[in-house]
Chain A
Amino acid sequence: MSGTHNDHGHPHEHGHHHREPESTLSLRVRALESLLVEKKLVASDAVDRIVSAYEQDIGPHNGAKVVARAWVDPRYRERLLADGSAAIEELGFGGVDLQVVANAPGVHNLVVCTLCSCYPHALIGLPPVWYKSFEYRSRAVREPRVVLREFGVDLPETTEIRIWDSSAELRYLVLPERPTGTEQLGEAELAKLVTRDAMIGVALVKPPASAPR
């Protein structure tokens, strides 16, 4: 499974640590589920279903479709920027009070939640561990340019980096710039280029390797 045998209080290869051994955590959660099932406040099949939804159906590919639509349809883009929640409903998505912030020449957006881990999970799935990490939460607001460089994004000094600290129930999605050389691509192919990282703001969308320069 995780490949590490020392899991008590030490950082894992997956970059997070636990205060208790996995085996104890697993047992405690099973016990909690068992008690709540007995009290009829939880049903195991209901838990199965939501877990499966986040493992398979709800993920960055959904947000990518929204981005691709905004790239090909300027009026959709306007609607998306004006009312994110309504615009994503047009594509069959929902469950989030969405604010979309657009990258542009000279403007780059970066999303964080310093207080906990707020994230548009209904649209792009559950957040990665690094987004919820103390490192990201503490540093993204204060030294975004350094953090972005660590992510491999080197922006000109003249670019304004707008940081959005998701402190309320609005959730932020970055609308990345469409890469050059993609004019021939259809919406579905464009969506394939859009990564989770680009929609959080820690990456730019790369043109496909075969795109003309």
Chain B
Amino acid sequence: MEPVPSREIADMAGAAALPRKNGELVFDEAWQGRIFGMTVAMSHEASFEWREFQAQLIAEIAHAEREGESTSYYERWLHAFERLLADKGLLDAGALAERTRDFESGRRDDVF
């Protein structure tokens, strides 16, 4: 199921603009498409307003630019998403770290 981005999402400009090639959205790796989809889906489910995520994304990009970080657009998107979920109490940082270790160690294989 592909979430359809609203105008609000598609029209973000500045550095927050979704990477495109000839107008088409670009995901260099599969995880980027997954995080994009997750963020859009959650905003549709009203876990947060798109504007809240956008502000978080802008702050994340601004921080990365100040620090001269070479992180990619979707790496910054991921950080912004994690930060937003933590701020909203929707995700516990400890739980995320533990689940990450589960996947890294091979103890877990499936998303569900």
Contact = CB atoms under 8 A, between A and B. Distances in A.
In their complex, do chains A and B touch, with some C-beta pair under 8 Å?
A: yes
Interface string B38-69: 00000000000000000000010010000000
Nearest to B55: A39
Contacts of B59: 39, 41
Q: How large is the interface on A (under 10, 10 to 19, 20 to 34, 35 or more residues)?
A: under 10
Interface in A24-83: 39, 41
A161 to B, nearest CB: 37
A39 B66 CA distance: 14
B15 to A, nearest CB: 13
Contacts of B62: 41
Contacts of A39: 59
Nearest to A46: B66
A39 B55 CA distance: 11
A39 B62 CA distance: 11
Contacts of A41: 59, 62
Nearest to B62: A41
A41 B62 CA distance: 7
B101 to A, nearest CB: 31
A208 to B, nearest CB: 47
Interface string A1-42: 000000000000000000000000000000000000001010
3 contacts: A39-B59, A41-B59, A41-B62
The 3 closest A-B pairs by CB, nearest first: A41-B62, A41-B59, A39-B59
